[in-house]
Homo-oligomer: A and B are copies of this chain.
Amino acid sequence: MKIERSFHSRIKKMDFENISFGNHYSDHMYYSEFRNGKWINSIIKPFGNIMFSPGSLVFHYGQSVFEGMKAYKDKHEEVFLFRPKENFKRMNRSAIRLEMTTIPEYIFMNGLKNLIDIDRDWVPKKYGQSLYIRPILIAIDKCLSAKPSNDYLFMIISTPADYYYKKPLKIKIEEKYSRSASGGVGFTKASGNYASSFYPTRLAKEEGFDQILWTDSSTHTLIEESGTMNVFFWLKNKLITPLSNENILSGITCKSILSLAKEEGLEIEERKLKVSEIIDGLKNKILKEAFGCGTAVVVTYFEIISYKGKNFFLPDLLDKERISIRLRKKLLDIQHNLSVDPFGWRLKLKRIL
């Protein structure tokens, strides 16, 4: 792998006190091309524009999959990745479903480790802050036939991140639009899954909600996931999350929250979850908490769930009473190297470059 250092760091222009998610990229990027069946031209180089043919397949037929992951600092300013191999594996599951090349582990992991090492100053220091890392694989063949690309480009870019949501969320249970079909690509991080959610999400926002709670496209009676989040419900003293299926993104934060909850001794159910159970729980005040989790949002609880035009308020608990807040702290403590890591989730980044 070639390393080409930036001679004009933009870090002094970065205001770590007011991080606006996704607007500032770190100084470097990782770049590797898959051409004629081989990975070539792997390089860490200054973040910058790339030339594309207007015929590039990614524009026309949407062969594009990505990942979201984070690097955290501890109080000694050591940098830690969180479960990066889970992202590596999920990216390849996405790539397979979209009929793209898979990425070898050395390409993904070496690119990742070297990039975050060279840009370690971009990892913010405060609790809850992180460097959000975006690996992305896109199709670059220039032929307009509607068929899979032979050649691909794999890149990793990163951007400092603070809390994604600054307050509890108002969520609308969707009854008309759908995020994914059974037999479709809902379980992948395909770029097309996001564009299709923007219109219904805008409609929900115009009604005063922050996000949609997606339901199955066939019946709209089963809970799936929320915008960029998996969801949990604390119902009748059980922590329930919809069973991962082909419509639902298999969340790494979700799996981590499940492990932490089990470690706490909470009773857990991963199963089909009916909208009617949630609504009954809200009406009967036995649904105590509902929250979303994901790499970008970490853990964020809901204050309102709306269904068929009616808003239901979740109980107004104190933070110290909330399971969501407790699990969030447990997760962040591990991520920031403030607690032991019984699961082996943290990967301390060696100083290589």
* Residue positions of A touching B, CB distance < 8 A: 21-23, 25, 29, 47-55, 58-64, 66, 96-99, 132, 134, 136, 138-139, 142-148, 155, 157, 159, 174, 176-185, 190-196, 198-200, 202, 217-220, 227-228, 296
Report the separation of the CA atoms of residues A59 and B185 in the bound assembly, to the nearest whole angstrom: 17
Are B96 and A182 neighbours in the complex by a CB distance under 8 Å?
no
Please report the C-alpha to C-alpha distance between residue A178 and residue B186 in the assembled complex, in whole angstroms: 11
Residues of chain B within 8 A (CB-CB) of A66 are 59-60
B136 and A198 contact, CB distance less than 8 A: no
In the complex, chain B residues whose CB is within 8 Å of the CB of A159: 144
Q: Can you show 18 pairs from A to B with CB atoms below 8 A apart?
A: A49-B53, A54-B136, A54-B155, A58-B58, A59-B64, A59-B138, A60-B136, A62-B196, A98-B196, A144-B159, A146-B227, A147-B198, A148-B202, A178-B182, A180-B181, A183-B200, A185-B195, A217-B218
**Complex: A138 Cα to B59 Cα, angstroms:** 7
Interchain CB contact under 8 A, B52 and A198 = no
Chain B residues whose C-beta falls within 8 Å of the C-beta of A23 in the assembled complex = 142-144
**Residue of A47, A59, A64, A148 with most partner-chain B CB within 10 A:** A59
> Chain A binding site: helix, strand, loop or mixed by DSSP?
loop
Q: Is the CB of B184 within 8 A of A60?
A: no
How many angstroms from the CA of A146 to the CA of B139 in the assembled complex?
Answer: 20
Cα separation A237 to B136 with both chains bound (whole Å): 52
Nearest residue in B to A64 (C-beta to C-beta)? B59
Chain B neighbourhood of A179, CB < 8 A: 181, 184
Residues of B within 8 A of A142 (CB): 23
Determine if B191 and A196 form an interchain contact, defined as CB atoms under 8 angstroms apart: no
Please measure, in the bound complex, the distance between the C-alpha atom of A178 and the C-alpha atom of B227, giving whole angstroms: 22
Task: Specify which chain B residues have a CB less than 8 angstroms from the CB of A49 in the assembled complex.
Answer: 51-54
Assess the A195–B99 pair: CB atoms within 8 A: yes
Q: Which residues of B contact A21 (CB under 8 A)?
A: 144-145
B194 and A191 form a contact (CB under 8 A)? no
- Given known contacts A22-B144, A62-B191, A146-B228, what 9 new A-B pairs fall within 8 Å (CB)? A21-B144, A23-B143, A51-B52, A54-B136, A59-B136, A98-B196, A148-B198, A185-B196, A190-B192
On whether the beta carbons of B25 and A55 are closer than 8 Å, the reply is yes
B-side contacts of A58, CB under 8 Å: 58-59, 191
Please give the distance in Å from A300's CB to the nearest CB on chain B: 14
Residues B146 and A60 in contact, CB atoms below 8 Å apart: no
| Alpha-carbon distance A61/B196, docked complex (angstroms) | 9
Task: Known contacts A29-B54, A184-B178, A192-B192; decide if A198 and B145 are in contact (CB<8 Å).
Answer: no
Taking CB atoms, residues of chain B closer than 8 Å to A50 are 51-54
B191 and A143 contacting across the interface, CB-CB below 8 Å: no
Contact at B134–A194, with CB atoms within 8 Å?
no
User: A275 to chain B: closest CB distance in Å?
Assistant: 15
Contact A62 B184 (CB under 8 A): no
Most chain B CB within 10 A, of A22, A66, A142, A228, is at A22
Rounded to whole angstroms, the CA-CA distance of A61 and B165 in the bound complex is 19
CB of A62 within 8 A of CB of B176, answer: no
A63 contact set on B, CB distance < 8 A: 195, 198
Cβ of A95 to closest chain B Cβ, rounded Å: 10
The 10 closest A-B pairs by CB, nearest first: A192-B192, A22-B144, A181-B181, A62-B191, A181-B217, A178-B183, A99-B198, A218-B218, A61-B194, A62-B192
